[in-house]
Chains A and B, each alone.
Chain A
């Protein structure tokens, strides 16, 4: 691009004598304006740190919520009214507590026999329904042994009946927490696992006994 000589001359004068041109006198004031509008690195960092903290807290909060949700049903014990006395059941672990209570309240001499154990006092908040049925033909002399055995005889509804190994001492307990479906599922899963383990143990014991009997029989064969 060919510049006009007049333009060139003016541009040269301005470029070569830049020092003669006025300078910015109030630099500090202008700098303050610039500085005020510049993004503050401290504020920027604080903003980022806050974001990191929030991001880290979200999984923690979720964890806490899960934990407290599981512990949520901390209600008053449910009272199961039997024919002549009351059994309290802690709903946090209804199966264990019910078992213990039932065992504790078994009549030592067998004079009192349970016809029926039925739920009452349904917690309105959690709508817990408990049904318990106790068979009547308990041998009074074996009351303590039965009480111990009953720990394995507490059977939840969905489990196959073969686990009920001792006839006549069968207790069925069904507990449902209808207001907390998840809780209900969890509780039943625990029950099922416990029972499944109990069943396995029982089967193994039976097998061992059978084996021992066989061995014993072998040793008793007379040598010829």
Chain B
């Protein structure tokens, strides 16, 4: 069975198409044993995926690369304690580690993630401006958001965390998380509309 089809959250590039579940299991076992060549192959396979997750949170490439290296270090060190039924589980686990690494970096970097904007955010329910947008461009706009907005938006809208979980992760109140999310949406829509007008 091709594993590529089983990954629900993120599709992957064609480089992984030839990998069967059996090969992946062997690769994981070798990585657990500390085989450096197989760890390198594993890194080559999943580095882009992890990098894209980190890029959404960190806002720039050098910081995202740092998070990628720390994520893989954690992955290889803790792999031995986890068993993976399928690749979906592996990806979810790695994504969680990547998100945690990003949040830890952000906590060190930004002490207060709360950004106050005067006035209530206005959210347009029409999604016409999203019809022809490219993923890379959308990512750039998300990266341009203030750190607090960006983090809450990523955690809620893309990772699927609840406001309670976000509050625990970031050390903020649930209400703050909600307001940050609304403001992030509003700002995103504003930016997307402006770009469409141009």
* Interface segment out of the listed A29-37, A104-112, A187-195: A29-37
CA distance A22 to B65 in the complex (A): 12
CB of A24 within 8 A of chain B?
Answer: yes
Q: Do B138 and A13 touch across chains, with their CB atoms under 8 A apart?
A: yes
Within the complex, what minimum Cβ distance (angstroms) separates B106 from chain A? Answer: 19
Given contacts A15-B10, A16-B11, A20-B136, contact A5 B127 (CB under 8 A): yes
Closest A residue to B44 using CB positions:
A27
Given contacts A21-B135, A22-B52, A27-B44, contact A10 B188 (CB under 8 A): yes
Interface string of B164-198 (1 = CB under 8 A from A): 00000000000000000000010011000000000
* Interface segment out of the listed B81-89, B97-105, B110-118, B154-162: B154-162
Given contacts A6-B185, A21-B52, A24-B47, contact A14 B134 (CB under 8 A): no
Given contacts A19-B13, A21-B52, A24-B51, contact A30 B157 (CB under 8 A): no
CB of B123 within 8 A of chain A?
Answer: yes
Given contacts A10-B188, A38-B73, contact A1 B162 (CB under 8 A): yes
Interface string of B68-92 (1 = CB under 8 A from A): 1100110011000000000000000
CA distance A97 to B77 in the complex (A): 69
CB of A3 within 8 A of chain B?
Answer: yes
Within the complex, what minimum Cβ distance (angstroms) separates B129 from chain A? Answer: 10
CA distance A1 to B135 in the complex (A): 24
List which B121-163 residues lie within 8 A (CB) of chain A. 123, 125, 127, 130, 133-136, 138-139, 142, 153, 156-158, 160, 162
CA distance A13 to B36 in the complex (A): 36
> Given the complex, which residues of A lie within 8 Å of B133, measured CB to CB?
13
> Given the complex, which residues of B lie within 8 Å of A27, measured CB to CB?
43-44, 47
CB of A11 within 8 A of chain B?
Answer: yes
Given contacts A15-B9, A38-B39, contact A33 B69 (CB under 8 A): yes
CA distance A146 to B158 in the complex (A): 109
Q: Is the interface of B mostly helix, strand, loop or mixed?
A: helix
Q: Is the interface of A mostly helix, strand, loop or mixed?
A: helix
Specify which of A7, A14, A29, A31 lies most central, judged by the most chain B CB atoms within 10 Å of its CB: A14
Query: Which range contains the number of B residues in contact with the other chain?
Result: 35 or more
> Given the complex, which residues of B lie within 8 Å of A39, measured CB to CB?
34, 77
Point out the residue from B13, B40, B52 that lies within 8 Å of A31, measured CB to CB: B40
Q: Do A14 and B138 touch across chains, with their CB atoms under 8 A apart?
A: yes
CB of A9 within 8 A of chain B?
Answer: yes
Within the complex, what minimum Cβ distance (angstroms) separates B101 from chain A? Answer: 12
CA distance A9 to B192 in the complex (A): 13
CB of B94 within 8 A of chain A?
Answer: no
> Given the complex, which residues of B lie within 8 Å of A11, measured CB to CB?
157-158
CA distance A19 to B7 in the complex (A): 14
> Given the complex, which residues of B lie within 8 Å of A26, measured CB to CB?
65
Chain A interface (Cβ within 8 Å of chain B)? 1, 3-11, 13-24, 26-27, 29-31, 33-35, 37-39, 41
Extra pairs beyond A15-B9, A34-B43, A34-B69 (16, CB < 8 Å): A7-B157, A7-B185, A10-B130, A10-B138, A10-B142, A10-B188, A14-B135, A17-B135, A18-B135, A20-B136, A23-B48, A27-B43, A30-B65, A38-B39, A38-B77, A41-B34
